[in-house]
Amino acid sequence: MLAGRMMDYPLTLTHFLDRARTYHARCEIVTQNPDRTLARATYADLHRRASKLAHALARLGVRAGDRVATLCWNHARHLELYLGVPALGAVVHTLNLRLHPNELSYIASHAEDKVIVVDRSLLPLFRKFAPQVRCIQRVLVIGDDGPVDGDGLDYEALLAPEPDDFDFPRLDERSAAMICYTSGTTGNPKGVVYSHRSIVLHTLVSCMHDALGFRESDVVLPVVPMFHAMAWGLPYAAVATGARIVLPGPHLDPASLLDLMARERVTFAAGVPTIWLGILALLDEHPKRWDLSSLRSTVIGGAAAPPSLIDGFLSRHGIEVTHAWGMTETNPLGTVARLRSSLGLDPAASLAARASQGFPVPLVDQRHVGPDDRPLPWDGESMGELEVRGPWVASSYLGGEGEDRFTKDGWFKTGDVVTIDAAGYMRITDRAKDVIKSGGEWISSVALENALMSHPAVLEAAVFAARHPIWGERPLAAVVLRQGKTVSKDELHAHLEPRFAKYWLPEDYLFLERIPRTSTGKFLKSKLREQFGDLLEKKASG
């Protein structure tokens, strides 16, 4: 063993918080309030307020490891909770405000939340599940208008008298900093516990140029909510790099987002495909209304971004789109669809690579396995379940649940069914639970959806399995049309025919007003199966 050693310097979020004050004190945090006015604070304020928060929580009896829940939109106070709670040694637990009250009561009880911080506008939701949650001892209410009822405390009044500086403890980098619950559509949600170390490493890698690529001169707009999958780590990445951050509050419709991007000269925005489909449709309608010349990067993830979306932004509006894949269990960034100069791809192959889920960022490994759990070849064709591992990939769930998602040799089973090609590009063909199996063969619903969404009349398409008396299952397509457009079933069929084997073509097309979604904006195919799963059987029986 050589005698020299490196320092044992803990990888904790406290470093980012201190750094923001020391080097980026004047950097702005912009919040869009519910009344659409803009509030401006700085990273110096962030440190000051995180310190006050730490004092206030300590005074309320919050100790290392205690859970502090948030039920909040994206705003500056949520950001100070993201930093202040972990720096104190406690654990911030973001509750997804789109969930059903029953799920929220389950999750808050399961995580044993001790304190909850709630936006005033979300108090009606909180009151629906509060009576079922026994562990919560304190309710802090954010928002200026009106008194706080019951034994709730006004967040501002609580922080006001506290000192501006806190002697933050030196923490073990492996201690818990945050908990998010999976938005699993089957079974109970499961808690994923992130450590300081996992978040710091995730932040460093996501800032790499070939990952999400943040820099100090950026103006970052996390459209992705801070109550889901840590807003993809964007709040921490912005603070770590000293980038300006713009938080949209509750206004997430396309026009409000475009107004905000143009007004604040946003350079980097990230959200799920639904958001971007809406934005693209509006931009196509009014290409000159917004000045988006500052926007240099948009990241789309959380669900498959159709190639037509990626191409539409670039070819019609000159806006670069980066497609990324991740999960609550992976902090969440896992893969990014970057082009590699060494591959020398032609334009069609380039678009195909950029519309894939990409290849892993450094420190994440991938493989896909068949039904016998053996790794499959990277031939771009073999479909199997994706497994990943890395320092920010969960190795267990809170309370040891869901053990079957972790392999004996140290991989996490994602539940995504994928192909991987020779260059390592991974493509999701389905969620394991949404897979369509027709006559013993798998059909990729994602490939069909992407093809349908490339039709000019189609805004959104979800393809799902319907039971069939002969084939077991057949694909059905649920389609939402663009405003003012029409298209017939035959036309859609003709659009798909040249691209797919015959047995892949949907058995029928349903024209819907909207496609049911999960709390995080993904197509809820279980609902479609529930509503329309017996359609073909009914037809067959006449």
Q: Which residues are known to be catalytic?
A: 182, 329, 437, 442
Angle, alpha carbons 400-406-409 (nearest 5°) = 125
Among 327, 465, 477, 515, contact with ligand AMP (rule: CB under 6 A):
327
Q: Say which amino acid occupies 428.
A: I
Question: CB 427 → ligand AMP: shortest distance, Å?
Answer: 9
Interaction residues for ligand AMP, span 115-174 (CB under 6 A): none
Identify the CA nearest to 491 among candidates 504, 479, 473, 474.
479
Q: Tokens at residue 82, please?
A: 């993201």
User: Under 8 Å CB-to-CB from 303, ≥6 apart: which residues?
Assistant: 272, 273, 274, 521, 522, 523
Q: Does 14 bind ligand AMP (CB under 6 A)?
A: no
Distances (CA, A) of 204 to 201, 231, 384: 5, 16, 30
Beta strands in 60-166 (DSSP E): 67-71, 91-94, 113-119, 138-142, 153-154
The string over 217-251, giving b where at least 16 C-beta atoms fall within 10 Å of a residue's C-beta and e elsewhere, is ebbbbbbbbbbbbbbbbbbbbbbbbbbbbbbbbbe
Question: CB 493 → ligand AMP: shortest distance, Å?
Answer: 25
Q: What is the C-alpha separation between 302 and 372, in angstroms, rounded?
A: 28
Q: Which stretch binds ligand AMP (CB under 6 A): 135-143, 320-328, 366-374, 464-472?
A: 320-328
Q: Tokens at residue 120, please?
A: 């005033």
Identify the CA nearest to 272 among candidates 518, 525, 99.
518
Query: What number of chain residues touch ligand AMP (CB under 6 A)?
Result: 21
Among 303, 420, 463, 487, contact with ligand AMP (rule: CB under 6 A):
303
Q: Which stretch binds ligand AMP (CB under 6 A): 16-24, 233-241, 302-310, 345-353?
A: 302-310
Q: What are phi and psi of 61, to 5 degrees?
A: 100, 10
Q: Tokens at residue 336, please?
A: 């990014």
Alpha-carbon Rg for the chain, nearest whole angstrom, is 24
Interaction residues for ligand AMP, span 337-396 (CB under 6 A): 357
Q: Tokens at residue 533, please?
A: 């799963």
Question: CB 464 → ligand AMP: shortest distance, Å?
Answer: 14
Q: Does 411 bind ligand AMP (CB under 6 A)?
A: no
**Residues 520-539, mask of contacts with ligand AMP (x by CB under 6 A):** x-------------------
Question: CB 317 → ligand AMP: shortest distance, Å?
Answer: 21
Q: Does 222 bind ligand AMP (CB under 6 A)?
A: no
User: Under 8 Å CB-to-CB from 372, ≥6 apart: which residues?
Assistant: none
Interaction residues for ligand AMP, span 182-201 (CB under 6 A): 182-183
Q: Does 414 bind ligand AMP (CB under 6 A)?
A: yes
Identity of the residue, 324 or 487, whose beta carbon is nearer to ligand AMP in the bound complex? 324
Q: Does 271 bind ligand AMP (CB under 6 A)?
A: no
Among 301, 307, 390, 506, contact with ligand AMP (rule: CB under 6 A):
301
Q: Does 471 bind ligand AMP (CB under 6 A)?
A: no
Q: Which stretch binds ligand AMP (CB under 6 A): 36-44, 242-250, 295-303, 533-541?
A: 295-303
Identify the CA nearest to 313 among candidates 361, 249, 263, 261.
261
Question: CB 98 → ligand AMP: shortest distance, Å?
Answer: 11
Angle, alpha carbons 137-99-358 (nearest 5°) = 120
Identity of the residue, 229 or 452, whose beta carbon is nearer to ligand AMP in the bound complex? 229
Among 326, 360, 475, 521, contact with ligand AMP (rule: CB under 6 A):
326
Q: Does 105 bind ligand AMP (CB under 6 A)?
A: no
Among 62, 99, 133, 229, contact with ligand AMP (rule: CB under 6 A):
229
CA atoms within 13 A on the CB side of 62: 30
Binding site for ligand AMP (CB under 6 A): 182-183, 229, 301-304, 323-328, 332, 357, 414-416, 428, 431, 520
